[in-house]
Amino acid sequence: MAFKEKIGARSVRLALTVLAGSVLFSGQSMADEAIQKVEITGSSIKRIAVEGALPVQRLTQEAIAKSGATSVADLIQALPAMQGFTIGAVAAGSDSGGNTSASLHGIGESYTLVLLNGRRIAPQGSGTTVNLNAIPMSAVERVEILTDGASALYGSDAIAGVLNFILKKNQQGATLEATYGGPEDKGGNAWNTSVTYGFGDLDEDRFNVLVSYRHDEQSKLVATDRTFANTSHLKFARNGKNYIWDRTSTSASPAGATVAYNNSTTSTAFTPYLRQNQGNCPDNSYVTTSNKNACGFDTGSTVEIVPQSKRDSLFSKATYKLNDNLNAFAELAYSRYDLTARIAANPIPISIAQTEKDPVTGVEKLVFKNPSAYANYVQPYLSPAQQADIKSITANYRSTDFGLRASQTITQTKHMVVGVEGELGAWNFESGLTWSQNSIDERYTSGYQKNQAFKDILANPDFNPFATTQKPSVQAQVAGAQFVGSVRTASTTMRGVDTHGSRELFSLPGGKASLGIGGDYRTYRYEQSPGATGDDIYSFNTKAAYDMSRDTYGAFVELLAPLAKSFEMTVGGRYDAVKAIDDKLNNKTIGKKDSANTYKVSARWQPVQTLLIRGSYGTGFKAPSMLEIAQPLVNAGFTAKKFDCPTPGSPLCRGETTQYNAVSQGNPELQSEKSKQFTLGFRVEPSAAFSFGADLWDVKLSNAVSEITEEQAFADPVKYATSFSTYKEPSTGNTYYAFKKLSVNIGKKEYRGIDWDLSANHKFDFGKLTAQLSGTHMLHANYTKAGSNNVFTSNMNFFGDTNEVTFRNLMKLTTTLDTGRLSNTVTVNYRNGYTDAAATVYDVAAAKEVKGFRLQVPSYTTFDWQARFAFDKQTTIRAGIKNLFDRAPPLSLRASSGHQVGFDPRYADPMMRSFYITGNYKF
């Protein structure tokens, strides 16, 4: 028997291995020609013939090429259905390593499941969120996006939906492609080149081997190359008033000074340089709006708003036809992403004087670590009473002599699958073994100080943190004091086995009923090892060590019932178990075994050939990440914003409004989050020239993992007293308040919206015009405030508690005029306006600070153009312009998600107008 699936069995198989319900048909009434239309998706225009009971969006190779996207993240994150994802630019000032993610409908990246050829791939970190940099773009045949929950098929994490990257197979011949592009303004140039080669015909030669390799390089874009992002001392006007948004830092060069007292709860903070120079600050610094006696260093002007990076990706697949009914296959995917992010020079608190207990007498006394600095730069600006009451003096120094802080992160993904697929009797099946790993090596390459070498600099009498330039003897020590090396390595390894099959059962009025069953077992292991410690790097918090693992397993069953020629139903259910966490470092088990039963019912009704009505109802769940459960108390950087002391007058207060340290800890009592969801949609296609469809979707989450935000905690420190801990500075020994992040199962979330699309085409004498308009209209984006189960808030067109916006309307229009060998495409991307993050700004005329100030950020629309010319069947050239009208990102005063200032890099592209050209040759 030839290796060819029966219609009903094929439908279920596609539903199980691609996306549940994406291409279900009404039994055996369809011809083989219709089946071919399913296998070869030649257009991103939705057609009723391939529409199933669930809403699926498809991106073909041509649609991918027309987008002008140079990475998987660029492609996916530009879709209207995508909101709430992580962008690579967040690497500026974080340890994300350029991680990029997908998030459907703003529900969250951890609720969107990403698959590679229908299987899970190792996530980055201890959860299940996949880094899109792991996907080999040159090998992608198409992308299918299920915008409905699918826990009843895939288990945990598929609450918002599923992205399935389907890679090329059975290709013969070679394809060479190269792209070069860059903005009209300075910086940010990029290029890539790829080669794909396949040989052997599966039907004729009984084998096929495919290899695809691609190399990408992205050059840096620095803040000073863009006027909207070039300073932390940002002046702007609104409603006839002039304001200043001051994001400068009093950790500066020359240093600022903070003096704490024994008998006073108020510290003194000032910049000696300002006092000595008639109220003037040094270069790249400004008088702060919160303290007229202090200078703030312009950190934002030094940031690289787009980091430099290199990426290599490889995909290979070998398939061998064992017999007419069985194929054996092996897949290998590898990617290496090398990103270097640079931010302002390292802020280092340096002790000038400190109250210490005498080891012999036990009496506390003030010890001057740098008497000369005190006498020349601090003492002249203190009253006699203040001098007599000193508890400590700290120089808030920024090590500009060491250059910018540069963090290089090398992320590698290795993914291997071996398996068999085919027919055994009446069953169509596929089974596979998967080994997948995501690993990170985070390295410091400049801007950080060796511990002992910097202590030697501090001991040098010539070193002066309050000086504008250091003396030659100090400069000579700098080069040898630079730390270069790894600070942590981490990896997530996934091992799994899966099997699923489908077969026809019995006849119904609409055709054969079909059954699908399957199961999987996976083991996840998360490891992290510190590469350097506080003994190696000055004023450094050693990264935590982890070695934890847990097992998950599940099984599902699905029944497709064509009850009539025009009506079919699918019923599915799944059982999942998530075991407790094995903490291998501490030889203990943390948390409890968790399990979930989920189900889904969907239906598809096609009363006439031109109309389709569909709907679904189901449940889902999401297991907490391993660190959310088992993480010990560890340092977690700093708060995103500056805050006043939570308890004024406490010795744990810092001297002024500033960023506080943050710590985080897991919660062993966390349980899985639960969801209920439904969809209801239609599609109408009166002719081959017009199609319109819309799907209403609704997701309600309960038992959601919630975390008290820093804004809530500092606004009401009495109510949220448990959200504060303490932090001891390694360099000074001073202890201050710290914000503690802790997750609990208490929250609820409610999301609802409409995904819609319209397609039309018309043939002229000179060519064919095609237009595709799609969008997502959000109706609800509500969630309970952290720590509450009944007080709701929303991010709808509003920068909310979660430091992000849910946009009510996202739309994309793609219009193509095809005149044979030449085609022109114009793409319009639209994002509505919103209310920005609350910020503290300075009213210039009133000479006072205004707290809780919010901008109204306008809508953001860009136009892209691309021309494609086919010289022949082998050679094609594409040239394009992104952001054709050079639209600048709108002003934003957000203070989270990266160190960039003046705009929000998640919602607008800093490249501005840019050009690219791509050449493709097949042979």
Q: What is the mean pLDDT of residues 706-714?
A: 83
Give the distance from CA 270 to its chain's centroid. Answer: 39
pTM: 0.89
Residue 766, classified by CB atoms within 10 Å of its CB into exposed (0-12), middle (13-18) or buried (19+), is: exposed
Amino acid, res. 498 = D
Three-state DSSP at 730 gives coil
Give the model's pLDDT for residue 50.
59
CB within 8 A of 163, min separation 6: which ones?
76, 102, 112, 113, 114, 115, 143, 144, 145, 146
Q: Where does the pLDDT of residue 16 fall: very low under 50, low under 70, confident under 90, or very high at 90 and above?
A: very low
* pLDDT tens digits along 585-618: 999 999 999 999 999 999 999 999 999 999 999 9
Q: The tokens of 635 are what?
A: 């340092």
Considering only CA atoms, which of 157, 166, 161 is closest in space to residue 146? 161
CA gap 18, 430 in Å, rounded: 12
- Is the model's pLDDT at 879 over the cut of 70? yes
Query: pLDDT at position 713, please?
Result: 87
Whether the per-residue pLDDT at 34 is higher than 90: the answer is no
Write down the mean pLDDT value for the chain.
90
Cα separation, 733 vs 736, in Å, equals: 10
Paired tokens of 777:
């209209």
**Which three-class secondary structure string do you get for 834-849?**
EECCCEEEEECCCCEE
Distance CA 600, CA 621 (A): 12
276 sits in which H/E element: helix 272-276
161: left (phi over 0), alpha (psi -120 to 50) or beta: left
Whole-number Å distance between alpha carbons of 703 and 67: 39
Confidence of residue 462 (pLDDT cuts 50, 70, 90): very high
Instruction: Give whole-number Cα distances, 367 to 207, 390, 464, 706, 774, in Å.
Output: 79, 10, 18, 45, 68
How far is 870 from 859, CA to CA, in rounded Å?
Answer: 37
Q: Which residues pair with 687 in a beta bridge?
A: 690
Under 8 Å between Cβ of 409 and 443: yes
Distances (CA, A) of 819 to 65, 166, 175, 423, 869: 18, 30, 24, 44, 10
| Residues 397 and 373 sit within 8 Å (Cβ to Cβ) | no
pLDDT class of 26 with cuts at 50, 70, 90 = very low
Of 126, 113, 121, 112, which is closest to residue 413 (Cα–Cα)? 121
| Section 767-789 average pLDDT | 92
Model confidence pLDDT, tens digit, residues 97-147: 788 999 999 999 999 999 999 999 999 999 999 999 999 999 999 999 999
Q: What pLDDT is attached to residue 37?
A: 31
Q: Which residues contact 751 (CB under 8 A, 6 or more apart)?
A: 105, 106, 107, 698, 699, 700, 778, 780, 781, 782
Note the pLDDT of residue 289: 95
8 Å CB contact between 89 and 898:
yes
Give the range among 178-187, 262-271, 477-486 with minimum mean pLDDT. 262-271
DSSP 510-528: TEEEEEEEEEEEEEEEEEE
Average pLDDT over residues 373-391: 95
Whether the Cβ atoms of residue 195 and residue 176 lie closer than 8 Å to each other:
yes
Nearest to 190 by CA among 215, 207, 211, 213: 215
Per DSSP, helices labelled H in 87-204 are 151-154
Would you state the pLDDT for residue 452?
96
Nearest to 693 by CA among 681, 705, 711: 681
Number of H helices, E strands in the chain: 12, 48
Query: Do residues 322 and 215 lie in contact, with contact meaning Cβ atoms separated by under 8 Å?
Result: no
Q: Cα(131)–Cα(335) distance, rounded to whole angstroms? A: 11
According to the model, what pLDDT value does residue 46 have?
A: 29
pLDDT above 50 for 787? yes
Residue-level pLDDT at 853: 97
In this structure, the chain runs to a length of 923
Which range among 47-51, 161-165, 222-226 shows the weakest confidence by mean pLDDT? Answer: 47-51
- Confidence (pLDDT) at 363: 87
Q: How far apart are CA 76 and CA 441, in angstroms?
A: 26
For residues 107 and 159, the answer to whether their CB atoms sit within 8 Å is yes
Lowest mean pLDDT among 180-194, 375-389, 512-526, 645-659: 645-659
User: Among 45-49, 245-249, 804-808, which stretch is predicted with the lowest mean pLDDT?
Assistant: 45-49
> Tokens at residue 25, please?
């048909």
pLDDT top residue among 88 and 834: 834
- CA pair distance 556, 424, nearest whole angstrom: 20
What's the mean pLDDT in 527-546?
93
Helix, strand and coil percent figures for the chain, each rounded to 5: 15, 50, 35
Alpha-carbon distance of 805 to 832, in angstroms, equals 11
The pLDDT score that the predictor gives to residue 92 is 67
Find out whether 640 and 717 touch, Cβ atoms under 8 Å.
no
| Distance separating alpha carbons of residues 864 and 827, to the nearest angstrom | 5
Least confidently predicted of 545-554, 573-582, 643-652 = 643-652
Q: Which of 466, 330, 341 is nearest to 396 (CA)?
A: 466
* DSSP code string of 903-916: S-TTTS-TT-SEEE
Q: Is 842 exposed, middle or buried (0-12, 13-18, 19+ CB in 10 A)?
A: buried
Going by pLDDT thresholds of 50, 70 and 90, the confidence category of residue 694 is very high
Calculate Rg over the CA atoms of the chain: 30
The sign of the CA dihedral 646, 649, 653, 659 is positive
pLDDT band for position 242 (50/70/90)? Answer: very high
Domains of the chain: 37-224+305-345+405-631+666-702+748-922 (2.40.170.20), 249-297+347-398 (no CATH)
Say how far apart CA 880 and CA 863 lie, in whole Å.
11
pLDDT bracket for residue 270 (50, 70, 90): very high
At 93 the pLDDT is 65
CA neighbor of 214 nearest in space, from 273, 168, 152: 168
Asked whether 306 and 224 are in contact (CB, 8 A), the reply is no
Pull the structure tokens for residue 522.
């996976």
Q: Identify each DSSP E strand in 509-648 by its residue range.
A: 511-530, 546-564, 567-578, 581-583, 588-590, 594-608, 611-622, 634-638
The torsion of the CA quartet 669, 101, 577, 593, rounded to 10 degrees, works out to -20
User: Which of 90-99, 261-270, 848-857 is predicted most confidently?
Assistant: 848-857
Mean pLDDT check: name the lowest of 85-89, 528-532, 631-635, 819-823.
631-635
Name the more confident of 611 and 746.
Answer: 611
Is the pLDDT higher at 879 or at 742?
A: 879
pLDDT score of 202 more than 80: yes
Contact, 424 vs 509, CB < 8 A? no
Angstrom distances, CA of residue 103 to CA of 55, 64, 78, 162, 843: 16, 19, 11, 10, 38
Judged by average pLDDT, the poorest of 115-129, 317-331, 643-657 is: 643-657
Residue 406, helix vs strand vs coil: strand
Q: Give the start-end residues of each E strand in 729-874.
A: 735-763, 768-784, 792-794, 809-818, 822-831, 834-835, 839-843, 848-853, 856-857, 860-870
What is the rounded CA–CA span in Å between residue 910 and residue 891?
A: 12
Which residue has 């985080």 as its token pair?
Answer: 664
**ω into 668 cis (within 30 of 0):** no
Please state whether beta strands 839-843 and 848-853 pair in parallel, antiparallel, or not at all (unpaired): antiparallel
Cα(110)–Cα(95) distance, rounded to whole angstroms? Answer: 18
Sheet holding 112-116, edge to edge: 56-60, 140-146, 161-167, 112-116, 119-120
Q: DSSP code of 229?
A: G
Q: What H or E segment, with its residue span, contains residue 459?
A: helix 451-459
Q: Residues 291-315: pLDDT tens digits?
A: 999 999 999 999 999 999 999 999 9
